[in-house]
Amino acid sequence: MIIVRIIGGLGNQMFQYAYAKSLQTKGYKTFIDTTGFRNYKLHGGYGLDLFKIDIENSLPFTNFLSKIRLIKSLKEKSLLFNERLTKPSEDAYIKGYFQTEDYFKEIRAVLLKQFVLKKELSNSTISYLRDITIQKNSCSLHIRRGDYISNKKANEVHGTCDLEYYKRAVKLMRSKFKDVRFFIFSDDIDWVKKNLKVQHATYINHKVIPHEDMHLMSLCKHNITANSSFSWWGAWLNQYENKVVIAPEKWFVSKENEVACNNWIQL
C-alpha cells in the first residue's frame, strides 16, 4: 500500500496527485492522504475534488494513523527528480512536492482526462472563455503575488518574478506572433494594472474561483508563467500542439530545480 500526502495550494496538490497516479498505473495500490487539510486553511484548502480524479482518499480508514505507523515513511529530499521515488517499497507513506513532469509525463493522456473540472463554469468564466477561443494567438500571463509578498518565509524561498521578466516575455511572444492577445491573471490584479502596461490585453478579474482561472490559462494557445505551480499547470494542461511556453529561469531564490519543462523557454 502506498499513501501519498496531499498538502499545499491547488498546484501543489496536483503535482502530488499526478505522482500518486503514476504509481497507481505501475500497479501499486495507491491512496492519497488529505487529513492535513483539517487544520490547513491557506490557498482555499483542498481542491482536488473539483476534478475528475479517481484515486481513493485514505481519510475514511478508521485505523488510518495506525496504518501509517506500521509502514515506511519516505520524504522527498530535494526538489530535483529522484528516480528512487518512482519505485518505492510496496508499503510506504510518501511526502513531497514532486515538482517535475519527470514523475508523470508518461501518463499525460490519463491526467488530461482527470484534471477536468466537474462543475459548470461560472458566467464570467464563460465570457472570458469565448474571448480567448476566438483569438488566433491567445497568451496567458500569470503574476503571482499574494503570500509571495506578504509571507516572509514564502518570499525567502520563492521570491517573485520582477516586471522586467514579464516585459521580456511579452516582447519575445510578440516577436513570434504579431497578432498575440494577452490574458493577464493575478491574485493582485489592481497592482498589475498599475505596474504592467500591456497593449492588447485583457485583465482577468477573478478572486474566488482560481480553478476556473487555471482552466482559462490552459485554453490559451501560449503561456507566460510565474514561478508558481498554479500557472505551471495552466501551461502543462494546454493541449495546443504548437504552444509556446515562457517560464522564469529561476524558480526558487537559491535552490536548484527542474520545474520548467524541457521544451519551455526560460528567461
DSSP character string of 225-261: --SSHHHHHHHHT---TT--EEE-S-SSSS-----S-
Question: Whole-angstrom Cα distance, residue 49 to residue 168?
Answer: 37
**If you average pLDDT over every residue of the chain, what do you get?**
88
Domain region containing 77: 2-114
Q: How confident is the model at residue 71 (pLDDT cuts 50, 70, 90)?
A: confident
Torsion of CA 18, 19, 23, 28, to 10 degrees: -90
pLDDT of residue 158: 45
Same domain, 185 and 141: yes
Statement: the pTM of the whole predicted model exceeds 0.85:
yes
Cβ-count burial 27-37 (b if 16+ within 10 Å, e if not): ebebbbbbbeb
Same domain, 101 and 158: no
Strand partners, 117: 51
Same domain, 243 and 143: yes
> End of a domain among 114, 142, 167?
114
Q: How confident is the model at residue 47 (pLDDT cuts 50, 70, 90)?
A: very high
Same domain, 129 and 253: yes
> End of a domain among 61, 89, 114?
114
Same domain, 141 and 248: yes
Same domain, 239 and 177: yes
Same domain, 168 and 73: no
Site of grid cell 522564469: 248
Same domain, 247 and 135: yes
Same domain, 14 and 86: yes
Instruction: Provide mean pLDDT across the span 220-248.
Output: 97
CATH number for the domain harbouring residue 153: 3.40.50.11350
Q: How many domains does the chain have?
A: 2
- Please give the C-alpha separations between residue 206 and each of 169, 245, 248, in angstroms, as whole numbers: 23, 22, 24
Same domain, 62 and 133: no
pLDDT of residue 132: 97
> End of a domain among 93, 114, 135?
114
Lowest mean per-residue pLDDT among 135-139, 149-153, 186-190: 149-153
Same domain, 191 and 230: yes
Same domain, 237 and 194: yes
Share of the chain above pLDDT 90, in %: 71
